[in-house]
Amino acid sequence: MKNSIRKLLWLPIAASMLVGHAPTSFAAVWGADYFPNVELITQDGESRRFFDDLIEDKIVLINFIYTTCVDVCPMETAQLVQVQKVLGDRLGQDVFFYSITIDPDHDTPEVLKEYKEMFGARWTFLTGNDDDITELRKKLGLYIEEIQDGSNNHNVNMIIGNQTTGRWMKRSPFENPYVLADQIGNWLTDWKAPPKGGNYADAPQLRSIPRGEQLFRTRCAICHTLTGDEPDDALGPDLVGVTEQRDPTWLLNWLRAPDQMLAAGDPVATALKASYNDLAMPNLRLNQQEATELLDYIASETRRINGESSPDNASSGTAADSGAPNEDLVGIMNAWVREAKPAAKANAGYMTLINVSADEITLVGVESDAFDTVEMHEMAVIDGAMKMRQLDNLVIPPNGQVRFEPGGQHLMMKGPHDHLRTGQTVDMTLVFESGLQQTLSVKVANK
């Protein structure tokens, strides 16, 4: 996956595993002779020394991010905001969080401050010299040489530790926030204390959790509630009823490629981002089935909250039953056909095609019963003049998009069978090199 590696290791590691040479006893605490005391700069432009000012004699959580990340980093930051809420006033008093950028050329103190404020984070964000930050990642056991390819690929684990006792542990950023807060706030200071609670024999039997609910708990609940009662400091909207309020195809595209929909200027996506402190929805890297199961769970939970009975076909999936595409092909946005004059012999069609897979997809044709032929065209300079030429195919890059738009690539729809007016729809079929096809309905508009 571009720009982030999901090596979400769970098990705690001793300090000896971080440094490569085991100390003779736990009394050998890693200190100034091990950790580089490099200078880092906070989001407020203030200088801090890594060992002297940030970790010496402190309980800390340290992670590495970059602000232009569209998937794991914003989810990780949002998760830490939930941990922040659990810890309350302890954060900044006896527990300290540090998020260090791995992209210091872009992530200036000003950029980090804006990023911090978007999430409502109350911990310190830091930048510095690229070589110094790489050295810190190595010393903390969060640097994987094999994936360094010149991009921002990185290990997304975080480190929690108590420098005084020398206890350091890797943790997944997607751990339950209550568990993570307990590990940071209690394990690192009083790890031998007996656990509090009742007898395991009295614990209730756990129910089987469907895949959609599991996805919501691990991906969505970081920023969203599903209760009908959205908190004032929510990072995203409450999702009760969203499957009834939004078009199912739009929802599937949004879940699978929110970054591309925002880049394409989708008006609903843009309005949502503006409504929540300009915080962008991260790309969850869901496939078609996962997105459908997630929407099915949201729909069933909405019915439960509203006291409604489930329909007889609920098990087949609300999203699928609502007309959403079943083939895992491309997302489609801003699709429309221009209304032509009654005597016109051709229309033009436009849309944005989004490839949310890791492989390129080749579009080889478009068909519609409303026209004699549909051709893919582009405007290009030929022999020094701007001319229109037909395209035999169109490659949609992995995790990328292509646009049919006025003045650029577009669909030339020849021989209309009827005069199409604004408000009507046109059925089209996209034909791909793989032999798969995807059908959609496109609105006619006078733009």
DSSP state letters, 145-213: GGG-SSS---B--EEEEETTTTEEEEE-TTS-HHHHHHIIIIIHHHTTSPPPS--GGGSPPPPPPPHHH
- Complete DSSP assignment for 302-371: HHHHTTPPPPTTGGG-HHHHTT---S--EEEEEEEEEPPPTT-SEEEEEEEEEE-SSS-EEEEEEE-TTE
Q: How many CB atoms are located within 10 Å of the residue 407 CB?
A: 6
Q: Are residues 336 and 307 in the same domain?
A: no
Last residue of a domain, one of 275, 298, 321: 321
pLDDT band at 233 (very low <50, low <70, confident <90, very high): confident
CA 393 remoteness from chain centre: 30
Q: Are residues 306 and 168 in the same domain?
A: no
pLDDT in tens, 290-344: 999 999 999 999 999 998 876 655 444 444 444 444 455 888 888 899 988 888 8
pLDDT in tens, 235-250: 999 999 999 999 888 9
Q: Is residue 276 part of a domain?
A: yes
The residue segments making up the domain with residue 369 are 330-445
Last residue of a domain, one of 262, 297, 321: 321
Q: Are residues 305 and 375 in the same domain?
A: no
pLDDT band at 384 (very low <50, low <70, confident <90, very high): low
Task: Return the pLDDT at 385.
Answer: 67
Residues sharing a CB contact under 8 Å with residue 9, sequence separation 6 or more, in sequence order: 157, 170, 172
Flag whether pLDDT at 2 surpasses 60.
no
- C-alpha dihedral sign at 182, 187, 189, 191: positive
- Output the domain CATH number for residue 137: 3.40.30.10
pLDDT band at 254 (very low <50, low <70, confident <90, very high): very high
Whose tokens are 């992530």? That residue is 107
The pair of structure tokens assigned to 257 is 């490629």
Q: Are residues 225 and 334 in the same domain?
A: no
Q: Is residue 113 part of a domain?
A: yes
- Output the domain CATH number for residue 278: 1.10.760.10
**Position 288: which residue type?**
Q
Q: Are residues 315 and 341 in the same domain?
A: no
Residues sharing a CB contact under 8 Å with residue 7, sequence separation 6 or more, in sequence order: 144, 155, 156, 157
For the question of whether the overall pTM of this predicted structure is more than 0.85, the answer is no
Q: Is residue 169 part of a domain?
A: yes
Q: Are residues 344 and 290 in the same domain?
A: no
- C-alpha dihedral sign at 109, 112, 114, 120: negative
Flag whether pLDDT at 17 surpasses 50.
no
Q: Are residues 254 and 352 in the same domain?
A: no
Whose tokens are 């002779």? That residue is 33
Task: Return the pLDDT at 308.
Answer: 84
Mean predicted lDDT score pLDDT of the chain:
83
Q: Is residue 279 part of a domain?
A: yes
Q: Are residues 389 and 426 in the same domain?
A: yes
Answer yes or no: are the C-beta atoms of 215 and 222 closer than 8 Å.
no
Task: Return the pLDDT at 193.
Answer: 47
Flag whether pLDDT at 381 surpasses 70.
no
Q: Are residues 126 and 222 in the same domain?
A: no
Average pLDDT over residues 374-391: 79
Q: Are residues 93 and 229 in the same domain?
A: no
Q: Is residue 10 part of a domain?
A: no
Number of domains forming the structure of the chain: 3
Across 22-26, 129-133, 306-310, least confident range: 22-26
Last residue of a domain, one of 155, 190, 225: 190
Q: Is residue 6 part of a domain?
A: no
Q: Are residues 246 and 367 in the same domain?
A: no
Q: Is residue 217 part of a domain?
A: yes
Flag whether pLDDT at 277 surpasses 60.
yes
Across 37-41, 168-172, 206-210, 288-292, least confident range: 206-210
Across 283-287, 320-324, 372-376, least confident range: 320-324
Q: Are residues 258 and 392 in the same domain?
A: no
Q: Is residue 106 part of a domain?
A: yes
Pairwise CA distance, residues 344 & 415, whole Å: 9
Nearest alpha carbon to residue 334 among 393, 255, 395, 263: 263
Nearest alpha carbon to residue 413 among 337, 302, 304, 317: 337
Q: What is the DSSP letter of 50?
A: I
